[in-house]
Amino acid sequence: MSVTSGSRQLLIHGMVLVLVGLVWGLVVPGTPHPRLALGAHIQLVSNGMLFIIQATALLALPHSVGLKSVWVMVAAAWLTWTMALSEVANAWWGTLQL
pLDDT per position as a tens digit, 33-53: 899 999 999 999 999 999 999
Confidence at residue 66, expressed as pLDDT on a 0 to 100 scale: 80
- Looking at every residue in the chain, the average pLDDT score rounds to 88
d(CA 60, CA 44): 24
- Which mean pLDDT values do the consecutive 10-residue runs of the chain (98 residues) have? 84 94 93 90 94 90 80 91 91 72
Count, residues in the chain: 98
Distances (CA, A) of 97 to 4, 27, 29, 40, 94: 46, 24, 23, 20, 9
Confidence at residue 79, expressed as pLDDT on a 0 to 100 scale: 93
Alpha-carbon radius of gyration of the chain: 15
